[in-house]
Amino acid sequence: MSNAVTVTDADFESEVEKNEKLTVVDFWATWCGPCRMIAPILDQLAADYDGQVKVTKLDVDANIKTATKFNVRSIPMLLFFKGGKVVDQIVGAVPRQTIEAKFKQHVA
């Protein structure tokens, strides 16, 4: 069972943009190898930072409206939202330390 919450075009605003705490959105697709590489890292970080960070996943193929709104051109792309605004991003498959450093930077 994943610790990340699946979001869609329909609930993106309520799940992400109206959430005051740090929310990370993983823009991904089923056919994307690098996306599958970082999925277990994000799942573990979601468990480690439970209560501090909300980790969400958005399938870009099924939710084109939101992917277009945030100009997602390469996946995986992680967007970090705080108070409904994008405060940081990571593009591509990166090591756990890189992702966790961003979590720590924005949780404080």
Catalytic site includes residue 32: yes
- Which one from 16, 32, 78, 79 is the annotated catalytic residue? 32
Catalytic site includes residue 35: yes
Cβ(90)–Cβ(77) below 8 Å: yes
Instruction: Name the DSSP letter for residue 9.
Output: T
- Which one from 7, 16, 25, 35 is the annotated catalytic residue? 35
Q: Which residues have a Cβ under 8 Å from the Cβ of 69 and sit 6 or more positions away?
A: none
Tell me which residues are annotated as active site: 32, 35
